[in-house]
Amino acid sequence: MFFTASALAVIVLFFLGGTLSGGATKTAGDFTLGGRRSSSASVVGILLGALVGGASTVGTVQMAYQYGLSAWWFTLGGGLGCLVLGLWFASPLRETELTTIPQFLRLRYGGPTAATAMIASILGTFISVVAQFLSGIALLQNAFPLSPELATLATAFLVMSFIFAGGLRSFGALGKAKILFLYLILGICAGAAWLNGATPGALWNALPFHPFFTLFGRGFSKDLGAATSLLVGVLSTQIYIQSIFAAADAATARRGALLSALIMPPLGIFGIWVGLHMRTAGITIPPAQALSHFIRITFSPFVAGILWSGILITVIGCAAGLALGIATNLVQDVLLPLAGKRLSPRSVLQANRWAVFLVVLAAAGFGLLGRDSLILVWSYLSMGLRGAGTFFPLVFAVLFPERIPARIAFASSAGGIATTLLWPLSGLGGEPLFAGLAVAGACFLPTLFLRPQGAAPRNF
């Protein structure tokens, strides 16, 4: 009773806050970019609100329970991605005054490259939304006697409640509160694990070095692929770049990305500590439920409800942000070019909301079908698909805007995503992400020796 009451109270407070903060959302620009008035803190809220979710919390504890320190790659790689975004990409992207990554690529290379990058972004991001549903289902089933179907429906309803009314305006406000709350929750959990005997020395003595105390416990290639997928995924995902486009100016965007790079990695350490403690405690439980179970058995029902609700809010917020990114691509890069002049501003706003609804509904279906799979595997695949189709065209568009022919960018984007998708069917070893990035990057090698030819895109 006390668990349920405290958990529901926190969830209701967050969603009321989102509804109130999104009350001024009157236009599609407010819904997708918050009116381009976001502060550095709001950029952090949007960026980490969408990046830190089930994979960084439930998924990290799950993988640490099974493999140990290699679970750090999601938050460590995400932090590195934010660092690169802040140092070299935030300012030039924000100065364009655009809304989506495909719009930026269309400006540099023309329509075909923008289209393939959009497909890669939507497909990869959708997989990540599914990963958040897996986390939400696991959390709800551990805390309440719900069937998989009811847990899935409840997750979908909560995601819609988070984002449907206010869009990016409410998401930025809730994202800041979410990150602060999450730091508090995971810090308390890691501290409780320490007090329960999970000191560094005790963990070291109880567990073998491999796989638990190496960053490559799942294998060098697999874990290096995880790190790479995060780095390139951060630079290739609509909602993360959308946080940059939403900033008040270029300097604000840069500060927000750099702050995110500092904030994200420690979250993974907290989660790993909990996962290792659960492993040494000899508790046998489905790994996806390790974090939720730890909270339930460690704290009083009232406190456990508060902590559990914070983890659920983290998952829901991440899914909502990613769904918003997909909806923005669908409306800005598909609907408006086809029918933009025939749509009123109110119709465009409603189209954004319906796009969010359809994305969430589809992700719920896939989440129900794949609910027994490893959450971080979905997340790494998601980042890899986004990166293979978008990373190199975007990097060269920012760093060498007058050097790259449009046909080269298109070959890189199309070749990267096709190779990543087809590589598992080839029977060859290695990570699909490496193969896709190798093909995508190889297309650009000859251009390093070309003379600049003007910034306007060349059609073919």
Rounded CA separation 364/192 (Å)? 34
Highest mean predicted confidence (pLDDT) among 3-17, 62-76, 219-233, 369-383: 62-76
Q: pLDDT confidence of 387, banded at 50, 70, 90?
A: confident
Q: What share of the chain in percent tops pLDDT 90?
A: 50
Q: What is the pLDDT of residue 126?
A: 92
The gap from C-alpha 173 to its chain's centroid, in whole angstroms, comes to 17
Q: Which CATH class is domain 2-374?
A: mainly alpha
Q: What is the pLDDT of residue 457?
A: 46
Range 30-46 average pLDDT: 91
Residue 210 confidence (pLDDT) above 90: yes
- pLDDT (tens digit per residue) in 217-252: 998 888 887 888 788 888 988 999 999 999 999 999
Q: What is the pLDDT of residue 13?
A: 83
Q: What share of the chain in percent tops pLDDT 70?
A: 92
Q: pLDDT confidence of 378, banded at 50, 70, 90?
A: low
Residue 302 confidence (pLDDT) above 80: yes
Range 112-129 average pLDDT: 91
Higher pLDDT pick, 399 / 385: 399
Strand spans (E) along 263-415: none
- Range in 77-91, 232-246, 309-323, 370-384 the model is least confident about: 370-384
Average pLDDT across the chain, whole number = 87
Q: pLDDT confidence of 460, banded at 50, 70, 90?
A: very low
Residue 377 confidence (pLDDT) above 70: no
Q: Are 88 and 282 in contact (CB under 8 A)?
A: no
Q: pLDDT confidence of 376, banded at 50, 70, 90?
A: low
Q: Round the CA-based radius of gyration of the chain to a whole number and report it.
A: 21
Range 114-125 average pLDDT: 91
- pLDDT (tens digit per residue) in 131-183: 889 888 887 887 788 899 999 999 998 888 878 767 887 787 778 888 998 99
Residue 102 confidence (pLDDT) above 60: yes
Task: Specify the residue for token string 């089930």.
Answer: 54
Highest mean predicted confidence (pLDDT) among 16-20, 42-46, 49-53, 366-370: 42-46
Q: What is the pLDDT of residue 19?
A: 65
Highest mean predicted confidence (pLDDT) among 59-68, 190-199, 217-226, 430-439: 190-199
Task: Evaluate if pTM is beyond 0.85.
Answer: yes
Q: What is the pLDDT of residue 459?
A: 41
HEC secondary structure over the chain: CHHHHHHHHHHHHHHHHHHHHCCCCCCHHHHHHHHHCECHHHHHHHHHHHHCCCCCCHHHHHHHHHHHHHHHHHHHHHHHHHHHHHHHHHHHHHCCCCCCHHHHHHHHHCHHHHHHHHHHHHHHHHHHHHHHHHHHHHHHHHHCCCCHHHHHHHHHHHHHHHHCCCCHHHHHHHHHHHHHHHHHHHHHHHHHHHHCCCCHHHHHHHCCHHHHCCCCCCCHHHHHHHHHHHHHHHCCCHHHHHHHHCECCHHHHHHHHHHHHHHHHHHHHHHHHHHHHHHHCCCCCCHHHHHHHHHHHHCCHHHHHHHHHHHHHHHHHHHHHHHHHHHHHHHHHHHHHHHHHHCCHHHHHHHHHHHHHHHHHHHHHHHHHCCCCCHHHHHHHHHHHHHHHHHHHHHHHHHCCCCCCHHHHHHHHHHHHHHHHHHHHHCCCCCHHHHHHHHHHHCCHHHHHCCCCCCCCCCC
Strand spans (E) along 137-196: none
Rounded CA separation 194/254 (Å)? 36
